[in-house]
Amino acid sequence: MADHNDDGILRNFKTVLWPQAYRDGDAELLGRLLHDSFEMVDAEGNVSTKADELEYVANNLWDPGSFEYRIERLSIYDNGVAVVTGEGAASKYRYRSSNVLVKEAGEWRAISSHVSGVQQESEDTQ
């Protein structure tokens, strides 16, 4: 059953912690956020696992410049599943994503992420 704090926890998870893990190269934090069965489908249709994402974060610098994730849908279901969709907006690009999270042992973990609609921002809009 959903806890009354879940909305705030999930908003922080998606808008603060997840981007922070990538920006800081913090594979330990990302490892706590992603479920062992996590899979991401990127804009080109490539699939990566939790292990792939942890390796990427540990070995690559992510510097999007300014970045904000705007949640457009946050649905929390009584069976311990949540869906978060929205738009990521960085200095040089924007994209849409959908994410599925599960709550196990009182902790939310992402099990799925799908990114699409990546658009490069023109130099004129900066």
CA dihedral 47, 51, 52, 56 (to 10 degrees): 150
pLDDT in tens, 32-80: 999 999 999 999 999 999 999 999 999 998 888 889 999 999 999 999 9
The pLDDT of residue 123 is 57
Over residues 94-101, mean pLDDT: 96
Q: How confident is the model at residue 125 (pLDDT cuts 50, 70, 90)?
A: very low
pLDDT in tens, 7-23: 999 999 999 999 999 99
Residue 81 burial class via C-beta count within 10 angstroms: exposed 0-12, middle 13-18, buried 19 and up: middle
Topology classification of domain 6-119: Nuclear Transport Factor 2; Chain: A, (3.10.450)
Note the pTM of the prediction, 2 decimals: 0.89
Look up residue 100 and give its amino acid: V
